[in-house]
Amino acid sequence: MTKSIIYFHPLTFEQQESIRAVAPGYTLLEGNSKNPDLQQLGEAEIVIGWAKGISDTLLRPDSAFRWLQTWSAGIEKLPLERLAERGILLTNATGVHAEPISAVIFGFMLLFTRNLHIAVRNQQNRLWHSDGSESELSDKTVVIAGTGAIGSETARIAKAFRMKTIGVSRSGHPVADFDQVFTTDHIQEAVSQGDFIINSLPLTDETQHLFNASIFSAFKQGSYYINIGRGDTTNTEDLIAALHSGHLRGAGLDVFETEPLPQDHPLWAMEQVIITPHCAGVTDRYAERVVDIFIHNMKSYVETGSPSRNLIDYSRQY
């Protein structure tokens, strides 16, 4: 039987050829995510991306399926228990998003610091006005929950703005460009120091609703919350209460518990909230970067039988 790789996202001819070059003995086939060919999938050893309705075919006991390279960093919507039971190697797209998402994070911070979000609204009303509350990023403290690729890139850029950087991670290990890193069980101590608190955490059992009333109450008065991680890491009702009370001065939100955000949701009407439609990671270079990860992993897979980059630990869910 010919070994095959199936991909579910558009690739250029050059990207396809670069994959073929590192995958001798494999055929590379494009799958249709809306109408997947189950017979074709039943013979696939490697899949790039995911589609609805393919789990039973890929995960049957006699399938050739061995490795899944996701198109996203998030894996919470995948059938993780079944993948783990079958011993499927799972790699994600961590690292693809660092540059575009860090740009969005600083977009939020600069909008809030310079009141540019208010200026845009004033322009729509032809209103010449400033209340004089504009500030600067220099000497402010940014607390970043999640010190991986996105958090590290954000900390690196923050140093150019002469900001103090504090990280929060499960291990608490030192990371370049962070002045200090706290473990997750000391997150309240960390956020109490922040002028800006950035949530770049993945969704796991441990991070579900991690940002709740208890954590928000530990925030510094008048601080800002930015979530570009996963919507379900935040208790939305508690966030709204913190914003209404004035304890939080504002929030920049790219992800939500319910997506799309319902049109009647109260967050839409809050002038101290900036909303983007889960697009912080979108970039015209996305496919290029996922292919780079896959090529690196394919070389390792051919040589050792296992991809070496972004390999998911099922017990940790990341």
Residue 255 falls within a domain, yes or no?
A: yes
Tens of pLDDT, residues 90-140 = 999 999 999 999 999 999 999 999 999 999 999 999 999 999 999 999 999
| Helix or strand (DSSP H, E) at 311 | none
Q: How many domains does the chain have?
A: 2
- Within 13 A of 265's CA, how many CA atoms are on the CB side? 15
Residues 184 and 132 in one domain: yes
Residue 312 falls within a domain, yes or no?
A: no
Name the residue type at position 33: S
Residues 142 and 88 in one domain: no
Count other Cβ atoms within 10 Å, centred on residue 192: 15
Residues 108 and 221 in one domain: yes
Residues 197 and 83 in one domain: no
pLDDT value of position 303 = 97
Q: What is the DSSP letter of 262?
A: P
CA distance 231 to 279: 13
Structure tokens at 299: 């070389």
Residue 57 falls within a domain, yes or no?
A: yes
Residues 105 and 76 in one domain: no
Residues 86 and 113 in one domain: no
Residue 126 falls within a domain, yes or no?
A: yes
Residues 208 and 130 in one domain: yes
pLDDT value of position 2 = 75
Residues 9 and 111 in one domain: no
Q: What is the DSSP letter of 210?
A: -
Residue 311 falls within a domain, yes or no?
A: no
Q: Which residues constitute the domain of residue 14? A: 3-95+284-304
CA distance 181 to 97: 22
pLDDT value of position 1 = 57
> What are the residues whose beta carbons fall under 8 Å from the beta carbon of 242, sequence distance 6 or more?
213, 216, 217, 219, 225, 248
Residues 170 and 269 in one domain: yes
CA distance 266 to 283: 29
CB 10 within 8 A of CB 49: no
Q: Looking at residue 291, which CATH number applies to its domain?
A: 3.40.50.720
Residues 150 and 193 in one domain: yes
Find the catalytic residue in 114, 278, 296, 309: 278
Residue 154 falls within a domain, yes or no?
A: yes
State the pTM of this model. 0.92
Residue 317 falls within a domain, yes or no?
A: no
* Closest by Cα among 211, 97, 190 to 142: 190
Structure tokens at 48: 């790039």
Residue 71 falls within a domain, yes or no?
A: yes
Q: Is 230 labeled as catalytic in the residue annotation? A: yes
Regions of the chain with pLDDT less than 70: 1
Residues 89 and 191 in one domain: no
Q: Is 278 labeled as catalytic in the residue annotation? A: yes
Residues 61 and 203 in one domain: no
